[in-house]
Amino acid sequence: LYVASYPFDQIQPDMSLSEEPESILDRQERVMRNKTISFVKILWKNHLEREATWETEKSMRASYPHFFS
């Protein structure tokens, strides 16, 4: 059984949770057809390291520009 606990200030009135990146754990370049795409492994706030996800760097920069400054 996994029980998640989140601070109340992160839970929205509709019971959704706003996710924010905490740190970049790894970087990787992947070749897709004839393009090289940059990926970053993101550790999300209030999540365990094993729950980190690979995201494109481009999408993370678009969604969280302050995180890369």
Give me the CATH number covering residue 48: 2.40.50
Residue 51 in any domain: the answer is yes
| Structural domain includes residue 64 | yes
Structural domains in the chain (count): 1
Judge whether 47 lies within some domain: yes
pLDDT in tens, 5-62: 666 666 777 877 778 999 999 999 999 999 999 999 999 988 899 999 999 999 999 9
- Structural domain includes residue 2: no
pLDDT value of residue 14: 81
CA distance 17 to 7: 10
Structural domain boundaries enclosing 64: 21-68
Question: Which uninterrupted H or E stretch holds 52?
Answer: none
- What are the CA-CA distances from residue 18 to residues 26, 31, 56 (Å)? 23, 31, 19
Closest CA to 60 of 29, 13, 23, 5: 23
| pTM of the predicted model as reported, rounded to 2 decimal places | 0.75
